[in-house]
């Protein structure tokens, strides 16, 4: 039986299976494990429990019972009781929300199945430790790290490609409590978007700012109100529509917004304003949030939308 281990975003995954690893999985493991560390970075492992991932030989559900695949990604995510189901053409995964092994079945040649299952499992484990998976790019500066988020086309990958500073990801980064709960850390997730792992670095760095990207004609760096910051952050948290996960995530978002400034960055490619960003990161003051703001901003309709034992999600999962 083949075995392998990965640390993604501070979560340790132990992978085992009779047909593990195949050629694609060997390449994936080598790629993630070979990403260089940030200078002076000390990985911060969340929790002592290792997440076991079992690669099984039998399909995990019958045709028509799993999630509906997205035309854009070829995969789908749904919930069933206290499990998250991930499926696509030739693969299925069951991710328990309690400390049980993650199960993955894939047909021979189903490229990306393990990577996608690990991606979703990582996202589902983080809220239990006060962490958040963000659909964002992450860049490390001498003044600290910043997570850049925004809608598709806002420039996350473009900014990453233009960066002469270490990039943690152009697609998915992890925000988690720092060692000793002294602020928050931005971490690499081991997952990438259009850059496909080129030029990235891994590790943890102090999180200095969360930045909402805006396409504008000139550089602009403005403070977001508490309400804008909250709604923007909730829009980039990458979680299935599961109430227990979102309860933990909403609490974590409130903690992050209390400790980390949130800004809007107006810019226009190819003129990436990294000098201006570094200057702005110096001397930032945290945005003081309040639990009352969470209650005012989240409408009853939003809260109830996560109820139910089985619900589809439109979050853009990618392999």
Q: What is the 3-state secondary structure (H, E, C) of 275-290?
A: HHHHHHHCCCCCCCCC
Alpha carbon distance 202, 168 (integer Å): 6
DSSP H helices in 126-273: 156-162, 226-234, 243-259
Tens-digit pLDDT string for the chain (319 aa): 788 898 898 899 999 998 888 888 888 888 888 888 887 666 677 777 799 999 999 999 988 888 988 877 778 999 999 999 999 888 999 999 988 999 999 988 787 899 999 999 999 999 988 999 999 999 999 888 999 998 777 889 999 999 999 999 999 999 999 877 678 999 999 888 777 656 678 888 899 999 999 988 889 999 999 999 999 999 999 999 899 999 999 999 999 999 999 999 999 888 889 999 998 888 665 544 333 344 334 433 333 232 333 333 333 333 3
Predicted TM-score (pTM) of this structure: 0.85
For the chain, what percentages of helix, strand and coil (3-state, to nearest 5) are there?
Answer: 25, 30, 40
- CATH code for the part of the protein at 132-304: 3.40.50
Alpha carbon distance 238, 253 (integer Å): 12
CA end-to-end span of the chain, whole Å? Answer: 25
Angle between helices 23-33 and 113-125 (to 10 degrees): 50
| E-assigned strand segments in 90-234 | 91-96, 102-106, 132-134, 136-141, 144-149, 167-169, 173-177, 184-188, 204-215, 220-223
CATH 3.40.50 domain locations along the chain: 132-304
Spatial contact of 202 and 7, defined as CB atoms under 8 Å apart: no
Q: Looking at beta carbons, which pairs linking 268-271 to residues 24 or more positions away fall under 8 Å?
A: 268/215, 268/216, 268/217, 268/218, 269/155, 269/158, 269/159, 269/162, 270/158, 270/162, 271/219
């Amino acid at each position: 039986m083949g075995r392998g281990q990965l640390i993604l975003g501070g979560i340790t995954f132990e992978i085992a299976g009779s047909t593990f690893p195949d050629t694609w999985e060997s390449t994936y493991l080598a790629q993630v494990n070979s990403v260089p560390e940030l200078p002076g970075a000390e990985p911060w492992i969340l929790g002592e429990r290792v997440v076991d991932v079992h690669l099984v030989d039998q399909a995990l559900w019958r045709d028509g019972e799993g999630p509906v695949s997205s035309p854009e990604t070829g995969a789908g995510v749904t919930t069933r009781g206290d499990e998250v189901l991930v499926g696509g053409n030739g693969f299925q995964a069951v991710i328990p929300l309690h400390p049980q092994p993650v199960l993955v079945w894939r047909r021979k040649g189903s490229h990306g199945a393990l990577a996608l299952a690990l991606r979703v499992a990582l996202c589902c484990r983080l809220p239990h430790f006060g962490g958040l998976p963000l659909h964002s790019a992450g860049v490390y500066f001498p003044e600290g790290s910043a997570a850049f988020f925004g809608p598709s086309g806002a420039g996350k990958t473009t900014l990453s490609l233009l960066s002469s500073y270490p990039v943690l990801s152009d697609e998915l980064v992890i925000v988690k409590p720092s060692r000793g709960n002294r602020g928050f850390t931005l971490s690499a997730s081991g997952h990438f978007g259009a850059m496909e792992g080129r030029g990235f670095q891994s590790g943890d760095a102090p999180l200095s700012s969360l930045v909402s990207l805006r396409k504008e004609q000139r550089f602009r760096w403005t403070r977001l109100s508490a309400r804008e910051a909250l709604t923007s952050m909730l829009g980039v948290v990458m979680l299935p529509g599961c109430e227990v996960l979102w309860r933990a995530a909403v609490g974590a978002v409130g903690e992050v917004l209390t400790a980390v400034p949130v800004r809007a960055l107006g810019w226009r490619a190819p003129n990436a304003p990294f000098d201006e960003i570094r200057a702005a990161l110096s001397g930032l003051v945290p945005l003081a949030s309040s639990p009352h703001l969470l209650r005012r901003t989240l409408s009853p309709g939003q809260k109830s939308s996560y109820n139910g034992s089985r619900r589809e999600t439109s979050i853009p999962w990618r392999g």
